Amino acid sequence: MNVISRGVKNSMRSPLRSGAIVLMLAISIGLILSMLVARSSVNAKIADVKSSAGTLVTINPAGINGFAGGGTPFTSDQLATIKATPHISSTTATLSDQLGSTDTNLTSSLELGSFGERQQRFDSPAASSSTSPTADSTSAATRPAFTPRTAVTGTTNPDSVATNGGSLTISSGSTINGSGSDLVALVGTTLATKNSLTPGSTFTAYGKTITVSGIFTTGNTFQDSGIIMPLATLQTLTSQPGDVTHVIAKVDSSDNVNAVVSALKTSFGDKADITSEAEQAATSVASLSNIANLALAGVIGATIAGAVIVLLAMVMIVRERRREIGVIKAIGGTSQKVVAQFVAEALTLTIIGAIVGLGLGVLVSGPMTSSLVTSSQSSTTATTGTNRGPGRAFERGLGQIGTNLTQVTSSITPQVFASAIGITLLIAIIGSAVPAWFISRIRPAEVLRSE
Amino acid sequence: MLSVKNLTKSFNSPSGTVKALEDVSLDVDTGQFVSIIGKSGSGKSTLLSMLGALDTPTSGNIHVDDVDIAKLSSAKQTAYRARKIGFVFQQYNLIPNLTALENVMLALEFGGVKSRERKARAEKLLSDVGIKADQQLRKPSRLSGGQQQRVSIARALANRPAIILADEPTGNLDSETGQKIFELLHNLSRSENTTIIAVTHDLDIAGKTDRTFSLKDGKLTKLSKS
């Protein structure tokens, strides 16, 4: 029998007391695991949100707003500057243009309406001083008829035209390669219907024959009346090599959005209008951060509670065995050996508490994490409504344990597990340190004085 | 050979400095059985503490085989206690959750005996002091006072010590059992040539030892020599 086995044996000297200590420790360690799992899950969610929400930065040449305004498109060098800015993970560049009746054989599917007419009033030299094309019917009669134009978007990513923030819906045919330079196009569904276009059809634009690759639909009348081409194709067709009128940059994390905006403003000065969704991102992360902080406070609180439990238990045990420690020292036991024996005893209690506590944690951390992070977990309980009786209840209980195990297993990363083990050891060490100090101060002579 | 010269031990108390031992000197030859008698508070236990390196004197020397144990470091004093000293206490002081056999093996472990040799040696020691095989596997609470004291003596003998220090070894036993324990110690001092210093208030037992000293108010007086 050595120091370790004596410590292990001593831990079971008073089964009732040891059981109570183990139970208290188990609750504390179970809580620690639950909180660690919850924190890990919340942090994963935060990372997910940070990498997806509010990470877009819009960069427009100063003055340009869609087809309105004025200014100079970005050059390829300026686009390269944007791409080279730290933390920008990807960019979507767009060049916008409009096809008039002389540019294409397509008939626009847009109804011009009073709004469209007002926007085109400046196109007539005779109407340059007019403020309302409909107010002066005499002069209107002298102008050529207004014709709606067809919007053309050249983009590196056709999905960026989608109005739902996701992928562009291709109702027939196939999408185009935005990075290519082929004479192909996606045609909006309204425009395609108006001009009887189907995938494989051709039309002319800028004096070239363009093949329809697919028909897209967005649910937006303006978009569905337009054409999408690869960026390089439109740049070539419009003799604007390298030019872009709109850039959307995706930042790797919402944490870095402000830094990216700041860097871009430094690079472009007043030559670009830069907008971001940083505040929206911060708001969406704030509530999750509060939960993560709460979980961390729970970990710290449960750790302190666990350490105090071991500490008080070991102090009580050491005080109780003061004479025994004196005897061991008197017959030649070193302080280190006695301390090692008591640390082994504390470790044994802590390890048993940890095993029970980790099991407890596995059972409770799944639902706890779910309630903190996700809104529902209905899919696993839908089939149990008609099952009654204790047998069924037992099966449902086992099923729930299985569900919890699956949920937690997916959340217990090696880091979480290592943290739980580390904290458990920390509890044992803190819980043993003060008793060890007491032990080292017990003098063997006291065993004779108390006779 | 044990030689104590001008040993003094003082304690600080709220009422001032108290001298528990004052200028104590004695020489004990190897293999002698010596008893020390005295009233409660006379300094008997303090003297045993000094001799057993459980405490350090305020002044004076304690030479055991030409080594001044009062000057040893704490680690060396621990080693000295493990290999050179055996303690027998009035209340036996066996470790309650270890069996009789494990109690003796514990002392052997501290004495540096190899683990594979401990069990056989502990069994023989216990057998020599009259503890039967089935009793060796019992915990102290399931042994009588006399049996516990025999186990305590076996533990004290474990590392073949030069000196056995016994603090009231028969104090908790009835007279018949006390007599048997005394005889056991007496025989050991003869057969093992072990020096035994026993503190006792039993004048009958003290009278049967080789030499008897009396302690009064920390001062030692030699009473007899056989």
Question: Does position A341 have pLDDT exceeding 90, yes or no?
Answer: no
What single DSSP character describes residue A143?
S
Contact B89 A451 (CB under 8 A): yes
A337 contacts on B by Cβ (under 8 Å): 110
Contact B48 A448 (CB under 8 A): yes
What single DSSP character describes residue A99?
E
Which DSSP string corresponds to A14-42?
Answer: SHHHHHHHHHHHHHHHHHHHHHHHHHHHH
CATH of the domain at B58: 3.40.50.300
Contact B45 A449 (CB under 8 A): yes
Residues A248 and A364 in one domain: no
Does an H or E element contain A328, and which? helix A322-330
DSSP, collapsed to helix, strand or coil, labels residue A152 as: strand
Mean pLDDT (chain A) is 80
Contact A449 B111 (CB under 8 A): no
Residues A402 and A445 in one domain: yes
Containing domain of residue A383, as a range? 3-52+283-450
A328 contacts on B by Cβ (under 8 Å): 95, 106
**Is A324 in CB contact (< 8 Å) with chain B?**
yes
Containing domain of residue B55, as a range? 2-225
- Residue of chain A with shortest Cα separation from B105: A1
Contact between residue B209 and residue B198 where contact means Cβ atoms under 8 Å apart: yes
Min Cα–Cα distance to chain B from A433, Å: 21
B42 contacts on A by Cβ (under 8 Å): none
Question: Does position A136 have pLDDT exceeding 70, yes or no?
Answer: no
C-alpha B56, offset from chain centre:
17
Res A229: pLDDT:
94
Res A193: pLDDT:
93
Tell me the C-alpha distance between A54 and A278, whole Å.
6
**In one letter, which amino acid is A351?**
I
Tell me the C-alpha distance between B110 and B112, whole Å.
5
Tell me the C-alpha distance between B52 and B77, whole Å.
9
ipTM entry: 0.90
In chain B, how many domains are there? 1
Residues A323 and A249 in one domain: no
**Is A443 in CB contact (< 8 Å) with chain B?**
yes
Min Cα–Cα distance to chain B from A309, Å: 24
Q: Examine residue A75 and state whether it is found in any structural domain, yes or no.
A: no
- Cβ neighbours around B65 below 10 Å, total: 12
Min Cα–Cα distance to chain B from A10, Å: 7
Tell me the C-alpha distance between A370 and B46, whole Å.
67
Contact B78 A333 (CB under 8 A): yes
Contact A1 B102 (CB under 8 A): yes
Smallest Cβ distance to A451: which of B82, B155, B167? B167
| A240-291 pLDDT, tens digit each | 998 999 999 988 888 888 899 999 999 998 899 988 877 766 776 777 788 8
With 0-12 / 13-18 / 19 or more C-beta atoms within 10 angstroms meaning exposed / middle / buried, residue A361 is buried
Contact B78 A332 (CB under 8 A): yes
- Residue of chain B with shortest Cα separation from A11: B97
Two structure tokens written together for A385: 């409504």
Question: Does position B175 have pLDDT exceeding 50, yes or no?
Answer: yes
Smallest Cβ distance to A448: which of B54, B105, B110? B54
Min Cα–Cα distance to chain B from A18, Å: 15
Q: Examine residue A59 and state whether it is found in any structural domain, yes or no.
A: no
Contact B106 A1 (CB under 8 A): yes
**Is A441 in CB contact (< 8 Å) with chain B?**
no
Tell me the C-alpha distance between A173 and A186, whole Å.
9
Q: Which residue has the higher pLDDT, A53 or A111?
A: A111
| A59-101 pLDDT, tens digit each | 999 988 777 778 889 999 999 999 999 999 989 999 999 888 8
- 3-state SS of A219-231 is CCCCHHHCEEEEH
Contact B45 A9 (CB under 8 A): no
Q: What values do phi and psi take at B216, rounded to 5?
A: -140, 120
In chain A, how many domains are there? 2
Q: Examine residue A80 and state whether it is found in any structural domain, yes or no.
A: no
- Cβ neighbours around A214 below 10 Å, total: 22
Q: Examine residue A77 and state whether it is found in any structural domain, yes or no.
A: no
- Residue of chain B with shortest Cα separation from A327: B93
pLDDT class for A190, splitting at 50, 70, 90?
very high
Question: Does position A386 have pLDDT exceeding 80, yes or no?
Answer: no
Q: Examine residue A418 and state whether it is found in any structural domain, yes or no.
A: yes
Which DSSP string corresponds to chain B?
Answer: -EEEEEEEEEEEETTEEEEEEEEEEEEE-TT-EEEEEE-TTSSHHHHHHHHTTSS--SEEEEEETTEEGGGS-HHHHHHHHHHHEEEE-TT----TTS-HHHHHHHHHHHTT--HHHHHHHHHHHHHHTT--HHHHTS-GGGS-HHHHHHHHHHHHHTT--SEEEEESTTTTS-HHHHHHHHHHHHHHHHHT--EEEEE-S-HHHHTTSSEEEEEETTEEEEEEE-
